[in-house]
Amino acid sequence: MSITRSAGILLPISSLPSNYGIGTLGKEAYRFVDFLVKANQSYWQVLPVGHTSYGDSPYQSFSSFAGNPYFIDLDLLEEDGLIGRKDLKKIKVMDPSYVDYGDLYVNRYPLLYKAYLNGSDKYRKEFDQFVRENENWLPDYGLFMAVKKYFGMKSWLEWEDEDIRVRKKEALEHYAAMLKEDIRFYEFLQFLFYRQFMDLKEYANRNGIRIIGDLPIYIAMDSCEVWADSRQFQLNEKTKQPKEVAGVPPDYFSKNGQLWGNPLYDWKYMKTTGYKWWLERVEGASKYFDVIRIDHFRGFEDYWAVPYSEKTAKNGRWVKGPSVDFITVLRDWFSNVQFIAEDLGIISEEVVKLLQVSGFPGMRVLEFGMADDGSSFHAPHNHTENCVCYISTHDNVPIMGWLNKAKKKDLKYAKLYYGLNEEEGYNYGFIRGGMSSVASLFVAQIQDYLGLGEESTMNVPGTLNNWRWRLRKGQINGRLAKRIAGITHAYKRGRTA
């Protein structure tokens, strides 16, 4: 499949407005779809939607299959009779501009448990069917979360009972019986998430909007997959701790590199299974997303392995990945799925060749294209049709924040290159530049359309306290949609172009 000339907007689900502390799959998500339609867009790009773990990063999840319970919309639960209006009135949000994850952690689950008590019998038939259809991952996830709760939400490596930590049969049976109700609760949350997400996706698709979703290359050490099948990962056989962990070396994001800390895959073992684990994971993602953006694509060619004891990513080493062998399996198995390859960072000739073999479009980011000799492949005149053009990504400051801190020579070049002027708005000069690219797809963060600055950055790599920014109600409106629709049509990226 290929992407035809079109445009989209990047907005994480968590950043949608709502009355309850975080964006959800409810009415504001539907309103955003309506906004995209009015703005002549074809795509809505979101960040990973997994059940987030420590640090609340969508790239660190308790499961590579499970959805984030925080995204379950409370108003929809109230409409279904699973919670009451009085329950909603008790929720207090101090600042609707930012997500308070600490407050959510303390106050959201009791409400969701009430929905479970009221809904597990009401939706028993549909719920049981959902469990049967997801038996490849849901039982492990439900047990993992229930045991994790039992041990005070500690990492599974720190569970006091070694027998369940190493998954002895008797221990699995014991905890499955003892924690039956909690297991059912966590499974029911996934049923609710799936039900609400698929209703939203159906609405978006019916209105001509396709959803682009992120698939993190790595999964968290503290996840049910690592606990349930440690053979897939490079772990010490006795302690189950990683030998080396994932990251990237120093680059334009961070002088110390980025120490992600995720366990590395045992690619040799995975190959003996025909990469079954990966195929199931991508199959799961394809239920939610029309297009899958593969995070850190270069990690399939070679990956940065950092000793487990290191405090930064500086002292790592490059290790050969599965390369063409894996990518051709992925490409051929999912011939009807559209992929985007996140090919940012230090890119070797081998990575370029792997991208060519895959046929997947790579990424170009205008903020990275300010070399005044015009050599950067991120600059629009060096784009190819088979790529996706971004102004900035969730790991960058929005363009107005970049302009406010840009070096004088970079700002001078940007003004000349894009014809920036105050009357149009500097941000719209970059939007115009991206729209005019030959890239098949142009995507901008909603912050770039709104002209927001550094305060609206979603993530600063290598730091904590991220993933919090949210839209305020009323920030996007018909006038903005009309302006976006006009420039989208002018550059033949519209839905009827």
Residues designated catalytic: 295, 342, 395
Q: Check if the beta carbon of residue 152 is closer than 8 Å to that of residue 123.
A: no
Q: Is 370 helix (H, G, I), strand (E, B) or coil?
A: coil
Cβ(66)–Cβ(190) under 8 Å?
yes
Q: In the structure encoding, which two tokens stand for residue 217, read together? A: 């290359």
Q: How far is CA 306 from CA 119, 244, 311, in A?
A: 46, 5, 9
Segments in 207-272 forming alpha helices (H): 224-228, 267-272
| Residue tagged 């109700």 (tokens) | 181
Phi, psi of 43, rounded to the nearest 5 degrees: -135, 145
Helix (H, G, I), strand (E, B) or coil at 196: helix
The HSE-up count of residue 175 (CA atoms within 13 Å, CB side) is 25
Kindly give, in sequence order, each residue whose CB lies less than 8 Å from that of residue 213, ignoring residues fewer than 6 positions away.
45, 46, 48, 49, 285, 288, 289, 291, 292, 293
Decide: 400 and 453 in contact? Cβ < 8 Å.
Answer: yes
Q: How far is CA 358 from the centre of its chain?
A: 21
Residue-wise DSSP of 376-417: -TTSGGG--SSEEEES--TTS--HHHHHHH--HHHHHHHHHH
Q: Name which of 258, 286, 130 is nearest 194 in CA terms.
A: 130
Strands (E) in 22-136, as ranges, are 43-45
Helix (H, G, I), strand (E, B) or coil at 373: coil
- Under 8 Å CB-to-CB from 329, ≥6 apart: which residues? 274, 275, 279
CA distance 260 to 245: 7
